[in-house]
Amino acid sequence: MNYIKDLANTASYGFYSGKNDSSEKKRIKDRLVEVVQESKKVLCSAKTVFPLTLFTSEITVDRQNITITNRNFFKSGEIISIRIEDILNVSANVGVLFGTVKIHTRFFEASKPYEVTYLWRHEAIRLMHIIDGYIIALQKKVDCDLLNTKELESLLSNLGGGSIARI
């Protein structure tokens, strides 16, 4: 219970006074609800191509995390959530039809990045641009919370793919 109270206090950018002030509780609750709603807005996602992978995997980018779901059987699999701040680099290997996204983080081995294979080519490139743009924006300390989802997706894609040669 104290954890939830601390989380609500952190989200409201204040300190809990310990009083039963209903306006303070409402402000904390409203801010926490707003943070939860914003964090669930998906910027982009991609699934692996079915015939090449019997159990498809999915990669989803939202305002806080990258979530990778690797399915290995019916209704079973592995879900990995990586905070955007923890990503060091992202790259894409693309061919004529398909691509692979490689994600280097602080937690995986540097020589062995996390890979999602058999994505459609254009989806792999789009994911790389958006994730790379998000990394650059966070390094420049840009507040992305003020933009709506479509604007943010477009701007991050342009930022991440700014000087990349077209393949």
C-alpha span between 76 and 125 (Å, rounded) = 28
C-alpha span between 151 and 48 (Å, rounded) = 26
Report, as an integer, the average pLDDT of 63-89.
89
User: Does the structure show a pLDDT above 80 at 166?
Assistant: no
Torsion angle of the four alpha carbons 10, 13, 15, 16, in this order, in degrees rounded to the nearest 10:
-70
* Tens-digit pLDDT profile for residues 124-163: 999 999 999 999 999 999 888 888 888 888 888 888 886 5
The predicted structure's pLDDT at residue 127 = 94
User: Does the structure show a pLDDT above 80 at 40?
Assistant: no
CB 86 within 8 A of CB 103: no
CB 145 within 8 A of CB 134: no
- Among residues 167, 96, 160, the alpha carbon closest in space to that of 126 is found at 160
Report, as an integer, the average pLDDT of 75-99.
91
Band the pLDDT of 167: cuts 50, 70, 90.
low
With tokens 């680099």, the residue in question is 89
C-alpha span between 131 and 9 (Å, rounded) = 29
**Residue 35 per-residue DSSP state:** H
Give the domain ranges of the chain: 2-39, 43-160
* Tens-digit pLDDT profile for residues 98-114: 999 999 998 877 678 88
Residue positions counted in the chain: 167
Domain 43-160: which CATH class? mainly beta
- pTM (2 d.p.): 0.75
